[in-house]
Chain A
Amino acid sequence: MVKSFGEFLLFIQSMLFRKERFAVLWSRTVDECIIIGVNSIFIVSIVSAFIGAVTCVQIAYNLVNPLIPKSTIGYMVREMTILELAPTITSIVLAGKVGSSIAGGLGTMRITEQVSALEVMGINSASYLVLPRIVAAMLMFPLLVILAMSLSIIGGYLAGSLTGALSAQEYIEGIRTDFVPYNIVFALIKSVVFAFLVSAISAFKGFFTSGGALEVGAASTDAVNNSIIAILVADFALAAILL
C-alpha cells in the first residue's frame, strides 16, 4: 500500500519532468476533452436528472409534517444535489466510465508495446499519454458537475410537479431560499480534486499493466475500485477541511 503510493508519486513526477512540446500536449488534451467530456454528457445527464427527481419524491414522502412548508422540499433538493449528489455521484459515474476507459486504453497500449514504441522514439510516454488525460479530466469534470447540478434541480422540479408533491411555485421558492454561493465553489473544488484522483489513479493502473488481455481487464476493474474509494475518502476530507 505504502509502496504503491510511493510508485504513484514517482509516476506523477515522471510525467512532469521532461515534458513534450506544449502544442503537442495541447492538441492531445483537446482530443481527450472530447473523449472524457463530450462523450460523458449523455450518461451524466440521465443519472443527474433521475437523482434530482428521486430526491424530490423521496423528500416529499418523508416530509409529512403539515407545519413544515412544502417549499422546504425544493430547498433540500438544491442543498443535497449541489453540495453532495451532483459532484460525488457524477464523479463516481465518471470513475466507472472515464476511469475504465483510461485504464483499459493505456493497459492495451502497454501490452501491445505501443508505450515501448513511444519510449524508443525518445518520447516521454507518461507525459505524452497521461498528462493530457489528467488535464482534460480536470477541465471537464467541473463542467459536467455544473450540468449535473442544473439537471438534478430541473429533474426535481419536474418530478415534484408531475407527482403533485408540491407546486411549481413552492419548488421555485424553495430553491431560492438561503442560497449560499460558496456551496457551488465548494462543489467545483471537489469535482477538480475527484477528476485528478480518477484520472491519475486509472492512468497509473493502466500504465503499469503487464501481461495480457486478462490483466488489462483486471487493471480497469482495479482502477474503478480504487478511484471510487479515493473519491469517497477525499469527499470526507474536503468536507471536513472546507466546510
Chain B
Amino acid sequence: MIEVHNVQKSFDGNQVLRGINCTFETGKCNLLLGGSGTGKSVLLQCIVGLMKPDIGSITFDGTVFTNNKVDIKQEIRRKIGMLFQGSALFDSMTVAENVEFPLKMLMTEMSREERLDRVEFCLKRVGLENAGNKMPSEISGGMKKRVGIARAIAPNCTYLFCDEPNSGLDPLTSIKIDELIHEITHEYGITTVVVTHDMNSVVEIGDHIIFLYKGQKLWDGNKDEILNAQVPELKEFIFSSSLVRAAKKVDDETDGGLAAATTDEAINI
C-alpha cells in the first residue's frame, strides 16, 4: 500500500498540487483520473521520486520514502517499476537488452543464464517472445508499451507505475494494454498506479479510482461507484466524453469476452 500524505508542489508560485491525501491499495489497479494539467504526472513523479514534494510525504508499505536516507530510498526504488508515457526504451539496446538492463544493473547476484531466462519469461508474459532481437525503432507503439511493461516487471517489482499507458494507441490496442496491466497486477499482487484520462480504462480496469481536479483529490471509489458519483466536476468529466458510452457498450456486449480473447490470441499489435 502506498500512502500519500498532504503532498503539495508548486512551480514558480503556480501551485500544482494542493495537499493531496490518498492511498493506493495493494494488488489493485489504482487509477489517477483527471483532466489535462490537473497535476497527475507531477503527483506520479513525486511518488516515484523524480520530483520532490514541497510539503508532505509518501509512504511505501509503512516505510517513509520522502526525505529518508539514501539507502532506504534506494531499497524502495528497486521495487519500483515504471512504464513511461513514451515508453522510454533505451534506443541503443535491443528489446531483450532493454528488459535485461534492470536485472543487470540491480540484481548483481543473478547469473547470466538466470537473467536470460527471466527476460524470456517477461517477454513471453507480454506476448513478445519473438521480438527480442528487434531495436525499439523497429517496433510499433503498442509493442513498445509491452516492452516497457516487461522491463518494469523484470526485477519482480512490488509497485508498478504507468503514465498514460494508452495514449497514442488505437482503442483496441489500448484495451489490450489495459488488460495486460490488470492481469499482471492481480497475478503478482502488485500495487499498480495508472495515470489516465481515458474513461475506457476506468470502466475496464478501475479497481480503485482517484479523481484529481485542479491539484486536489475530489473523489475516490471503484468503477461501479463512479457512474453514480455526486461530484459535479467528476460528472462533468465523465459525461463530457462520449467514450464512456462506447466503453459501457463494449463492456456489456462482450461480458468479459474481450479480456479472454486478449490472453488467448497471439497478440500482435
Contacts and interface: CB of A to CB of B under 8 A. Distances in A.
B74 interface: yes
B50 A121 contact: no
Interface in A10-25: 18, 20-21, 24
B59 to A, nearest CB: 18
B189 interface: no
B88 A113 contact: yes
A109 B92 CA distance: 10
B50 A116 contact: yes
B80 to A, nearest CB: 6
Interface string A105-140: 000110011101101111100000000000000000
B208 to A, nearest CB: 22
Contacts of B82: 117, 120
Interface residues on B, range: 20 to 34
A112 B77 contact: no
Given A18-B70, A121-B77, A122-B77, A116 B84 contact: yes
Contact of A122 (B45, B78, B104): B78
B188 interface: no
A114 B74 CA distance: 19
A7 B45 CA distance: 22
Given A18-B70, A113-B84, A113-B86, A120 B106 contact: no
A59 to B, nearest CB: 45
Contacts of B48: 120
Interface in A62-101: none
B102 interface: yes
A24 B86 contact: no
Contact of B85 (A24, A113, A121): A113
Interface residues on A, range: 10 to 19
Contacts of B50: 116, 119-120
B195 to A, nearest CB: 13
B49 interface: yes
Nearest to B84: A113
B266 interface: no
A205 to B, nearest CB: 20
A123 B105 contact: yes
Contacts of B49: 119-120
Nearest to B78: A122
A136 to B, nearest CB: 15
B239 interface: no
Contacts of B101: 121
B164 to A, nearest CB: 12
A155 to B, nearest CB: 36
A86 B166 CA distance: 53
Interface in B69-89: 70, 73-74, 77-78, 80, 82, 84-86, 88-89
A122 B105 CA distance: 9
Contacts of A117: 82, 84, 88, 90
A117 B93 CA distance: 14
Interface string B30-50: 000000000000000100111
A114 B88 contact: yes
Interface of B: 45, 48-50, 70, 73-74, 77-78, 80, 82, 84-86, 88-91, 101-102, 104-106, 108
Given A114-B89, A119-B50, 16 more contacts: A24-B104, A109-B90, A113-B85, A114-B88, A114-B90, A116-B45, A116-B84, A117-B82, A117-B84, A117-B90, A119-B49, A120-B77, A121-B78, A121-B101, A121-B102, A122-B106
13 contacts: A21-B108, A112-B86, A113-B85, A113-B88, A114-B90, A116-B45, A116-B50, A116-B88, A117-B84, A120-B50, A121-B78, A121-B80, A122-B106
